Amino acid sequence: MQTFKFNRKIAVYAAMAMMVMCTGIVFGFALWQSADVAEYAEYLPHTEYAGYTEEAPSGPEKYVLKVEDEIVGALHSREEIYDVLVTILEEYSTETTEYIWFVPDISVVRQVVDEDIVKDTEALLEILAPSNEESGLAVESVETEVVEKEEIPYETEYVEDDTLTEGETMLISEGQSGLLQLTETVVRLNGVEQSRDISRFAQPPVAERIAIGTMPRGRQYIWPADGPITSGFGPRVIAVGSRNHRGLDIGGRLGDPIFAADYGEVIFSGWNGGFGNAITIRHDNGDETLYAHLNEIFVSVGDWVYQGQIIGAMGTTGTSTGVHLHFEIIIDGVQVDPILYLP
């Protein structure tokens, strides 16, 4: 049977690991305190941890800058190294810079190094500067700029739909403008142009789709009053009233019921000049029916009435020569002969 023994070696490793993690957190915060460095944060290398080896000299750790795995210098903090790198990068950076980094690649390693390797920031800057021919280091930057941007308008497609009534439309899908964009990319090495390309991005427009109703409008009116037609639709010669008769006159007795010719909403109710007491109803299909010369009105504007509902009483108010109902059917704002639409 095995028992767990306190292992001194594991405890030491664990403590070391904790310290590494804490250091990382502290420096992670420190990085964001420098505005300039933060701007280049996405390019700056993460610090690798070289670890302890038998051969490594003893002493405090340093932050070592390597170019292609060759030690170039070391500083006491990662921030100092970042400052050096960013100072160089800023020199070759413009407003349109999309990418910028060193060639060959640079890395930062935390390890113990001999004291004579450690340099101050000024000295390291001098060694690395691309203007120093011996540095062997260059800054590659890529600049991109949109040089042309054109919106391509979308078209509209109409689709017939027999579940919608004539004149009705419905949006099926929204249109989307297309885009034509030319982007210029310039690659520079230490600020000197190496190549220049223009790339073309095209996104075709998406057509707007609209359904158009083809189902004939339903018109199933009933007679608005029981009685003989005393005057038909169209031109006529009379002593009083319109020369061109825009409705149908139905005779009857004073107080005879007036029926709504179809279901709809009352949009006018009251005195209407020559029509006297009148009612106008708007129906689902957009048509309107008008009832004039009424003796009494039983509905108000905003009322919804059903087909056959008694909405008033026959009379001879307004410009009228005797008791009758003047009845109009109005389609798209134009009076039509009601006889064509009555059963």
Q: How far is the CB of 249 from Zn ion (least distance, A)?
A: 4
Stretch that binds Zn ion, among 41-49, 58-66, 113-121, 239-247 (CB under 5 A): 239-247
Tell me the window of 24-32, 88-96, 160-168, 242-250 that interacts with Zn ion (CB under 5 A).
Answer: 242-250
**Counting contacts by CB under 5 A, is residue 188 touching Zn ion?**
no
By beta carbon distance, the residue nearest Zn ion is 326
Select 45 or 276, whichever has its Cβ closest to Zn ion. 276
Could you tell me the smallest distance in angstroms from the CB atom of residue 232 to Zn ion? 10
Nearer Cβ to Zn ion (154/341): 341
326 binds Zn ion (CB under 5 A): yes
Compute the least distance from the CB of residue 263 to Zn ion, in Å. Answer: 24
Distance (Å, whole) CA 190 – CA 117: 27
Residue 188 vs 326, nearer CB to Zn ion: 326
Q: Is 256 in the site for Zn ion (CB under 5 A)?
A: no
Which range touches Zn ion (CB under 5 A), out of 90-98, 149-157, 201-209, 319-327? 319-327
How near is the Cβ of 326 to Zn ion at its closest, in Å? 3
Shortest Cβ distance from residue 165 to Zn ion (Å)?
29
User: How far apart, in whole angstroms, are the C-alpha atoms of residue 163 and residue 30?
Assistant: 67
Span of 103-111, 201-209, 254-262, 320-328 interacting with Zn ion by CB under 5 A: 320-328
Contacting Zn ion (CB under 5 A), which of 83, 249, 262, 288? Answer: 249
In whole angstroms, the minimum distance from the beta carbon of 292 to Zn ion comes to: 7
Placement of tokens 């885009």 in the chain? 179
Task: Tell me which stretch binds Zn ion (CB under 5 A): 67-75, 190-198, 303-311, 322-330.
Answer: 322-330
Kindly tell me which of 190 and 230 has the beta carbon lying closer to Zn ion.
230
Q: What is the 3-state secondary structure (H, E, C) of the chain?
A: CCCCCCCHHHHHHHHHHHHHHHHHHHHHHHHCCCHHHHHCCCCCCCEEECCCCCCCCCCCEEEEEEECCEEEEEECCHHHHHHHHHHHHHHCCCCCEEEEEEECCEEEEEEECCHHHECCHHHHHHHHCCCCHHHCCEEEEEEEEEEEEEEECCCEEEEEEEEEECCCEEEEECCECEEEEEEEEEEEECCEEEEEEEEEEEECCECEEEEEEEECCCCCCCCCCCCCEEECCEECCCCCCCCEECCEEEECCCCCEEECCCCEEEEEEEECHHHCEEEEEECCCCCEEEEEEECEECCCCCCEECCCCEEEECECCCCCCCCEEEEEEEECCEEECHHHCCC
> What is the smallest separation between the CB atom of 247 and Zn ion, expressed in angstroms?
5
State the residues that interact with Zn ion by CB under 5 A: 247, 249, 326
